[in-house]
Every structure is written in C-alpha cells, then in structure tokens.
Amino acid sequence: MRIAILEDDPLQSEMLALWLRESGHDLYCFADARDFMRIAARESFDFFLLDSILPQLSGQEVLEWLRKERNNDTPVVFVTARDAEEDVVAALTGGADDYIVKPVRRWELLARVDAVLRRGRSQANEQVVVVGPYRFDVTHKEAQLDGAGLELTDKEFDLAVFLFRNLGRLVSRGHMLEAVWGRSPTVATRTVDTHISRVRMKLELRPERGYRLVPAYNFGYRLERVGAEAGEAA
C-alpha cells in the first residue's frame, strides 16, 4: 500500500516509516503540512498517518481539508501525543478512521493500519477479483469478460486489477505507475496513459458495458460504474 506520513518529528517519522516499510508498504514522509497538502492534491495514496501537533496547520485542519475541500475518503489514522477525550472525539467525528496515542507500539500500529485497510478494501488481497461481467484470476493472470478469455499483457493485467480494486476511486498516474511498474525512474508517466488506452479497449470499458474510465486532468483516472451497474451497486 502507498502510505503518506505527516509528522514533524524526524525520529518519529523515521521509526513509523521503517515499521511500515518492513511490512511491505511504500512510504512518503512529510514534515510540513503545506508540502503534504500540495502533494496530496495531485497524487493519490492508500492511507494517511497524521500527527495532530504541527508547526503550521494542525492535523485536524489537514483532515478537514482532505474530507471537505478535496472530498478525499482515503483512510486517515492520527498518531499523536494528545490523549484528551475531546481531541479523540474531534478527530473521529471529523472523519478520522482511528486514533493512536504516542508512544506508539509497533505491532499495535501495524494491526490498526491493517484493520482500517481491511474495512475499506474488501478485494485488496483476494486472488480472484469479480466485478460485474469481469473476472480476474490474480494467481494465474487470467482475465475474462462475460466468461470469455481476454488477451492481456502482464502489465495490462496488473493495471486492470489495480483499477478494479480501486473501483470508484480517483487514482493518480504516479500511484498507478508505482503499483504496476514499481519505483522505476526509467518508466515515464505517459506509459500509464498508453496502457490505460489498451486496457479500455481490450476490456471494452464503455457505458454500454456498465463501466467507464474517466480521466482527471493533470491527475489520473477513475474507473466507475454507470447505468444499471451503478444502480445495483447503490
């Protein structure tokens, strides 16, 4: 998972990043709320860890910006020294998914992060992803549409699975690039657009099929349900 940490204490940030990285996550660390907001406005993440006590904006203000101004529903967990009941209540009622009081214990942190991720991503680790007429066997890298096999390259398959696992969510090109190709400086973001075009064509992602890929200018794409499929999902 792609996780962003907003924490102005470098030792605390380094410790959290180490624990999460050793658990297989990709980490992005920010000490400044403005820098965090600038990147979060043009990149998507799977998870945010926020401190509440910051030099410029409070973690609560950053949370409000995410939820109200950016309409961002990415899971947020506070990791903070504030343990007053009113602080916990304000964070949770403001849209936070969990609240951890420092000092942080490694295994508790990892368990809480995993629990929040499980709640939000029911298909994240499933080896067979089935959505509408589409079926993806992750183990054997086999894709089907209405029971008929689809000819996809490995990268096209991985990109399609990533999109369906994030159905309805706006994901950035950088996020897709990292999820499918890894952190490779030799792969340009236009590679994502090329593969998106191929996936759209091969999977017949168009309204009459019940799904479409919608581009977001200077950001990325959203795979969304349309028509009857959207009504059934609701």
pLDDT at 116 over 60: yes
For the residues of 108-150, what is the DSSP string, one character each?
HHHHHHHHHHHHH-TTTT-SEEEETTEEEETTTTEEEETTEEE
- Torsion angles phi and psi, residue 76, rounded to 5: -125, 130
CB 59 within 8 A of CB 53: yes
Query: Which residues of the chain does CATH 3.40.50.2300 include?
Result: 2-120
pLDDT at 43 over 60: yes
Residue 30 CB neighbour total at 10 angstroms: 22
CB 60 within 8 A of CB 52: yes
Location of structure tokens 């999977």: 203
Q: pLDDT by residue (tens digit) across 178-207?
A: 999 987 767 888 899 999 999 999 999 999
Supply the pLDDT for residue 125: 65
Supply the pLDDT for residue 228: 55
User: CA-to-CA distance for 46 and 26, rounded, in angstroms?
Assistant: 10
Supply the pLDDT for residue 233: 53
Q: pLDDT by residue (tens digit) across 127-148?
A: 899 999 999 999 999 999 999 9
**Model's pTM, two decimal places?**
0.78
pLDDT at 7 over 80: yes
Supply the pLDDT for residue 50: 98
pLDDT at 217 over 90: no
Query: Which residues of the chain does CATH 1.10.10.10 include?
Result: 128-233
Question: Mean pLDDT score of the chain, rounded to an integer?
Answer: 92
Q: Which fold has domain 2-120?
A: Rossmann fold (3.40.50)
Supply the pLDDT for residue 130: 94
Q: Return the CATH number of the domain spanning residue range 128-233.
A: 1.10.10.10
Supply the pLDDT for residue 234: 45
